[in-house]
Amino acid sequence: MSWTTQMDAARKGIITPQMRIVADKENMALETLVQRMAQGTVIIPANRNHAHLDPEGVGLGLRTKINVNLGISKDACDMDLEMEKVRHALRLGAEAIMDLSCFGKTREFRQALIAESRAMIGTVPIYDAVGFYDKNLSDISADEFFDVVQAHVDDGVDFLTIHCGLNRLTAERIEKTQRLTSLVSRGGSLLYAWMKENNAENPFYEHYDRLLEICAQHDVTLSLGDGCRPGSLHDATDAVQVQEMIVLGELTRRAWERNVQVMIEGPGHMALNEIAANMVLEKRLCHGAPFYVLGPLVTDVAPGYDHITSAIGGAVAGAAGADFLCYVTPAEHLRLPTLDDMKEGIMAARIAAHAADIAKGIPGARDWDDKMSKARADLDWEAMFNLALDPEKARAYRESSRPAHEDSCTMCGKMCAVRTMKRLKEGKDIRLDD
């Protein structure tokens, strides 16, 4: 029996190789995975043209995944450096990489990225269109936008961020709502400007069926972008954000009718006490589709530390139902991230994702922590290093300040509580004077 997309296969009861891999990774029964994929609550972004993909599932009951943004721009067009970031991100455990390239040899970079990466790849085609055509935004035609989408799909991109929910009705709401930061989505602002300058509907909304047809060709997941996401605490959960989410819910059902996999992109900045309610709102309005969030950043006053504000929000969001976290680096709002910035962002996002998995009761998540606790109780430093999220950093910290006694560290020395209790259990003397 033939199938077109992973969702189509699931609905026909066909087990694909990607499903078997994901079920094994997640320790989930194949029957459960297939059922959730058929319903749209789990996706496996896997373009048929991405030959070396190591597939991952995103959605209900699965581990919280993280994404890393990178790419070339007019101010930073060093392809070699960006490819080094790709390799760095893969070593650090990122499950997805989004290529946000918008200038220069974008297709060359994208093809090299897809050829090298076993992680799933996402793109935002409208960024590429502006750079590729090298003409005024308002002069780009709807057909030209779709030609770029087709190129990305043909190259092997696994998921596409398209801001389809920013239609004329949503645009009117923007003009009536008193936002502090208006639109902060790059793709959303570009489409809004195109619509205003051409006095036309969003081409991706108006010709949505055409977009779905392209996605179905090679089984590309549609990541419905949040062009109206809040860029400040002041703007969170306002009428503009909610209006767009309502439209995204309608578009989700239309995609499912064509067997196109969908995830929904979510808020950027949001007070801590609003996050859980937003997760429930998205799941209700978008029919349980996987939720992909940027942050949320829980305060606006920490430039240079936004990987921390994002990790706090990401942990709360994940625990409340978010499925996929987009990393944020210390350079957010300030500059293009360096390799060191990227590492800080990835580790912060991975910590948030794992904390969320513990709260959600994902099978095996708590076991990892219990193994670390056992290693600490045993003062087994090598086991601690091997279990650490970042073994290299943990080992370097200990080596930088060696204790007088190997069964302690330089924080407490022989007064270490763990050392004391371990020696008592072993029937050894507790001596602090030698």
CA–CA separation, 282 and 286 (whole Å): 6
Contact predicate 163/174, CB 8 Å: no
CA–CA separation, 8 and 37 (whole Å): 9
List the structure tokens of 263: 């995830």
Q: What are phi and psi of 367, to 5 degrees?
A: -60, -40
- DSSP string of 286-309? TTT--EEEE--BS-SS-TT-HHHH
CA–CA separation, 403 and 411 (whole Å): 9
Indicate the length of the chain as a whole number: 434
Distances 379 to 341, 384, 410, 433 between C-alpha atoms, Å: 32, 8, 14, 21
List the structure tokens of 407: 């069964």
| Residue 292 annotated in ligand binding | yes
| Residue 88 annotated in ligand binding | no
Judging by DSSP bridges, how do beta strands 221-224 and 96-99 pair with one another?
Answer: unpaired
| Residue 333 annotated in ligand binding | yes
| Residue 187 annotated in ligand binding | yes
| Residue 307 annotated in ligand binding | no
Contact predicate 403/410, CB 8 Å: yes
CA–CA separation, 248 and 230 (whole Å): 16
Contact predicate 68/96, CB 8 Å: yes
| Residue 229 annotated in ligand binding | yes
| Residue 409 annotated in ligand binding | yes
- Beta partners for 224? 162, 264
| Residue 412 annotated in ligand binding | yes
Which residue type occupies 70?
L
| Residue 93 annotated in ligand binding | no
Contact predicate 253/280, CB 8 Å: no
| Residue 186 annotated in ligand binding | yes
Q: Closest by alpha carbon to 97, among 124, 120, 125, 65?
A: 120
| Residue 134 annotated in ligand binding | no
CA distance from start to end of the chain: 75
Residues flagged as binding site for [4Fe-4S] cluster: 409, 412, 416
Residues flagged as binding site for Zn(2+): 269, 333
Residues flagged as binding site for substrate: 69, 98, 127, 163, 185-187, 226-229, 265, 292
Residues flagged as binding site: 69, 98, 127, 163, 185-187, 226-229, 265, 269, 292, 333, 409, 412, 416
